Amino acid sequence: MTELSEKEREEIVEAIRQGRALPARYQASLFGDATEAEVIWPGKSNDIERVTLPFQSIEHIDEPRSETVAQPTLFSMDSLTGRQVGGWTNKLIWGDNKLILSSLANGPLRKQIDEAGGLKMVYIDPPFDVGADFSVEVDIGDDSVTKQPSVIEEFAYRDTWGQGRDSYAAMIYERLLLIKNLMADNSAVWIHCDHRVVALIRMIGDEIFGKDSFQNMVTWRRQVVRGMKVYAKYMPFSADYLLLFTIGKNPVWNPVDKVKYITIAEADKKYMKDAKGYFRTSDPGTSSNESLIQLHSEGRIYVTNGGEVVIKDGVISATKGNLQIIYRREIVGSRVEERTVIDNIWDDIPGLGVVSGESVNYPTQKPTGLLKRIIESTTNPGDLIADFFCGSGTTMVVAEELERKWIGADLGRFAIHTARKRLIAQQRHRREAGATYRAFEVLNLGSYERQYFSGVDLSLPEAERQAESLQRQEQFISMVLQAYGAQRSEQLPGFHGVKEKACVLVGPIDAPVTQTDVRNAIASALKQNATRIDILGFEFEMGIKPAMADEAKEQGLVLTLRYIPNDVFDRRAIAKGDVRFFDVGYVEFKPSQDKNGQVSVSLTDFGVFYVQDDADSAAAGLKSGAKRIVIDGGQVVRVSKDNNGLIKKETLTKSWTDWIDYWAVDFDYESQREVVTIQEGDGTKSVWTGRYLFENQWQDFRTKDNRSITTTSAPHSYAVPGEYKIAVKVVDVFGNDTTKVVKFTVK
């Protein structure tokens, strides 16, 4: 037995006292030699997250159809609108995938997953480059600007690599444990990685899934010669790796082959031909002897070089030459289809640097050809698949094309927005082609995730949870004020603090700031002769700005509404002063009804107030002859310094429309309540959140190739005249959304 240090003994005792499993690295020391090889790192634990948070539905997207004929092969449809009304709805989830995985595995959505046939395949492409730059180039007007990762994304990435491979191992270990807990029987897990972590992930995968579950390691050559660093030391790196693990005894495996086309003249030289047409060769090792005999009886086995076939005791062989199995070959026009078996070296799918027209300028995007091969080989049509590091959404786009159901998740808001646009484009493409497709919904963990971050025990009954939430509220308020640079004050009734000359109010952690909250703040400020109010909130009631700002201005007050970013839950970000509060944007629009009774919506204004580098500070740091593009006060500004040291600042955003990347309309908002299903004891219950689901009935957005955007929607027909609420959602070029609702009477 290995001698333990005093610190190690204390750790073991503490684990036993708390009822936790002993870290795996002590197995050999306490119980003799381990029976299997495993990876050990400081702090390793097989404890996994078990929190169950309700999912909140942000948006439901089902591109309007003109078809009225139901498509029973996939789902039920409304005969009037053509919209999906039953069956599995695909899910795009924004948030921490650790919490998402735990909530999927242990919460009410697990039942939906099981009813959809269970999760049959997971592909993940986790970050594996310690020096990666996750900034994104986004187009604004005729120029582009670099979007920096959010602070919460940066800290998540730093946590992954904070202690080098130890922290990376801990991250991937916990995620794979959670994924295993969610998988159906007879399923597959693909893990995408590179040369730096492939050995580590292989060992962790063996430990979690079992060494017999490992099936293969695919080497994907993502670069061609011209894309390599030809003079790199010790040879250039040009490949990634795909580790394949399976669960169960009979996972799906559809052998993959690749196709190329040759001319009939080439086929005449290469293959035998008989009266039935052309034939092709295949690997004889894929068929049993019985199959070979059957093929021979059908006249479909040939021997090259003048050899002959001998059948003896049920075994077929070639006494001369090379035995080949020949299958019927179809002639397509002037070409002949030729198929060859693919091994675990994939050199026929180039990376995005080679593929033209597919890139959406997302740093971790993978080619659709790669995901198509992965999905086709280990799933069948109708199967449910998932990608919990989904990035720009390639996995889901390909899954939709191949008629698989899907779940996608990512921490980044911009990733979710990029994926949403690609998925809507896929819906449109399939609609135009007359193909089936599913609706999808955009989900997050919303206020429940914030309660979790603040330390509230979400397993408590609702009444107890609310009481604990109130207790935590004071700590939360102090944390937000510190991040905002404000001082706590007990001398300002109706407010929580003060910053410079502004009274500061912090909104609730689990609800939006309402117009009533703002009016109460205005009344309190007037009683105290204040002149400025800063109201901070995670969410704001729709349409709260600029109406409330104008209302305050009429009473001699300057009102500022600012979003609280999730970054406030990371004390490291607060200590470094990295947390930024952005002003609430606003959107203005006008509905109108034409002579045919159809209603269209026209955007009239949109405002954002981002700051990403100060223009004056950027100018001071420039060298002569240099220039830089920054975002300051809601404007894109090019700052330059000539050789004489003269500084020039030029505003590049010419119109408010330059900021709009996407907008959508719900012509009958409040027609569907947002209902979440929460755990209660041994059962569940459905609870209305007080909000409504945004039904995305029409949308327009910019693409990489088409930068134009309309400001007027297509006309919409209402079945019944009356008063309706119309909601418009605008998403800016950084992926942040602003929504407003107005009443409109349809005549």
How large a percentage of the chain has pLDDT more than 70? 75
Output the furthest CA–CA distance in the chain (Å, rounded): 105
CATH topology of domain 88-256+344-444: Rossmann fold (3.40.50)
What per-residue confidence (pLDDT) applies to 590?
96
Between 28-37, 74-83, 513-522, the lowest mean confidence (pLDDT) is in 74-83
How large a percentage of the chain has pLDDT more than 90? 35
Dihedral sign of CA atoms 184, 187, 191, 197 in order = positive
Paired tokens of 65: 């159809």
Mean pLDDT over each residue of the chain, to the nearest integer? 80
Geometric angle at alpha carbon 457, from 518 and 19, rounded to 5°: 160
Between 255-269, 415-429, 676-690, the lowest mean confidence (pLDDT) is in 255-269
- 282 pLDDT band, cuts 50/70/90, is very low
Higher pLDDT, 156 or 513: 513
What per-residue confidence (pLDDT) applies to 1?
46
CA distance 692 to 40: 48
Q: What is the mean pLDDT of residues 214-223?
A: 91
DSSP state, residue 494: T
What per-residue confidence (pLDDT) applies to 742?
92
Contacts 24+ apart (CB under 8 A), 668-673: 668/695, 668/697, 668/718, 668/724, 668/725, 668/726, 669/694, 669/695, 669/724, 669/725, 669/726, 669/727, 669/741, 670/725, 670/741, 671/695, 672/60
CA distance 265 to 723: 70
What per-residue confidence (pLDDT) applies to 521?
93
Taking 80 as the threshold, does the pLDDT of residue 313 lie above it?
Answer: no
CA distance 321 to 315: 17
CA distance 262 to 96: 49
Taking 50 as the threshold, does the pLDDT of residue 305 lie above it?
Answer: no
DSSP for 406-442, please give it.
Answer: EEEEES-HHHHHHHHHHHHHHHHHHHHTT-----EEE
**Alpha carbon distance, N-terminus to C-terminus of the chain:** 85
Q: What is the mean pLDDT of residues 25-33?
A: 63
The 3-state DSSP class for residue 43 equals coil
Q: What is the mean pLDDT of residues 335-343?
A: 66
- 591 pLDDT band, cuts 50/70/90, is very high
What per-residue confidence (pLDDT) applies to 339?
58
Name residues whose C-beta falls within 8 Å of residue 265's C-beta, 6 or more positions apart in sequence. Answer: none
Q: Is the peptide bond before 512 cis (omega within 30 degrees of 0)?
A: no
Give whole-number Cα distances, 668 to 491, 672, 727, in Å.
45, 9, 8
Between 244-248, 305-309, 490-494, the lowest mean confidence (pLDDT) is in 305-309
The 3-state DSSP class for residue 325 equals strand
Q: What is the mean pLDDT of residues 330-348?
A: 68
Taking 70 as the threshold, does the pLDDT of residue 91 lie above it?
Answer: yes
Out of 137-146, 149-158, 209-218, 502-511, give the one with best mean pLDDT.
209-218
The 3-state DSSP class for residue 620 equals helix
- 286 pLDDT band, cuts 50/70/90, is very low
Name residues whose C-beta falls within 8 Å of residue 344's C-beta, 6 or more positions apart in sequence. Answer: 216, 217, 218, 219
The 3-state DSSP class for residue 168 equals helix
Q: What is the mean pLDDT of residues 273-300?
A: 46
- 331 pLDDT band, cuts 50/70/90, is very low
Higher pLDDT, 425 or 614: 425
Paired tokens of 488: 């706590």
Residue with tokens 């669960």: 247
* Spatial CA neighbour of 276 closest among 324, 340, 331, 334: 331
- 405 pLDDT band, cuts 50/70/90, is very high
Q: Are 241 and 217 in contact (CB under 8 A)?
A: yes
The 3-state DSSP class for residue 212 equals helix
Residue with tokens 């390599």: 228
pLDDT tens string 360-398: 877 788 999 999 999 999 999 999 999 999 999 999 999
Give the dihedral of Cα atoms 471, 476, 477, 479; nearest 10 deg: 140
pLDDT tens string 147-173: 666 655 665 666 676 667 888 888 999
What per-residue confidence (pLDDT) applies to 229?
56
User: What does DSSP say about strands 183-193 and 239-247: parallel, antiparallel, or unpaired?
Assistant: antiparallel
* Spatial CA neighbour of 418 closest among 735, 58, 139: 735
Higher pLDDT, 223 or 660: 660
Sequence spans of domains, the chain = 1-34, 88-256+344-444, 257-341, 451-575, 586-746
Higher pLDDT, 143 or 280: 143
What per-residue confidence (pLDDT) applies to 389?
94
- 546 pLDDT band, cuts 50/70/90, is confident
- 717 pLDDT band, cuts 50/70/90, is very high
Taking 50 as the threshold, does the pLDDT of residue 80 lie above it?
Answer: no
What per-residue confidence (pLDDT) applies to 651?
81
CA distance 414 to 213: 35
Dihedral sign of CA atoms 543, 548, 549, 551 in order = positive
Which strand (E) or helix (H) includes residue 549?
helix 547-554
- 325 pLDDT band, cuts 50/70/90, is very low
The sheet carrying 627-632 orders its strands as 627-632, 635-641, 647-651
pLDDT tens string 223-247: 654 445 556 677 778 899 999 999 9
* Spatial CA neighbour of 349 closest among 221, 255, 237, 244: 221
Taking 90 as the threshold, does the pLDDT of residue 525 lie above it?
Answer: yes
DSSP for 556-618, please give it.
Answer: T-EEEEEEPPGGGG-HHHHHTT----PBP-EEEEEEEE-TTS-EEEEEEEEE----BS-HHHH
Taking 70 as the threshold, does the pLDDT of residue 533 lie above it?
Answer: yes
CA distance 542 to 564: 16
CA distance 722 to 326: 69
Between 315-319, 431-435, 519-523, 613-617, the lowest mean confidence (pLDDT) is in 315-319
The 3-state DSSP class for residue 315 equals strand
What per-residue confidence (pLDDT) applies to 396?
97
Taking 50 as the threshold, does the pLDDT of residue 334 lie above it?
Answer: yes
- 700 pLDDT band, cuts 50/70/90, is very high
What per-residue confidence (pLDDT) applies to 155?
57
Taking 80 as the threshold, does the pLDDT of residue 260 lie above it?
Answer: no
What per-residue confidence (pLDDT) applies to 548?
84
The 3-state DSSP class for residue 503 equals strand
What per-residue confidence (pLDDT) applies to 266?
65
Quickly count: other Cβ atoms within 10 Å of residue 335's Cβ: 14
Between 116-125, 276-285, 493-502, 523-532, the lowest mean confidence (pLDDT) is in 276-285
Higher pLDDT, 144 or 593: 593
What per-residue confidence (pLDDT) applies to 296?
53
Dihedral sign of CA atoms 720, 723, 729, 730 in order = positive
pLDDT tens string 131-154: 555 666 777 766 676 666 665 566
Q: Are 80 and 351 in contact (CB under 8 A)?
A: no
Between 294-308, 403-417, 633-647, the lowest mean confidence (pLDDT) is in 294-308
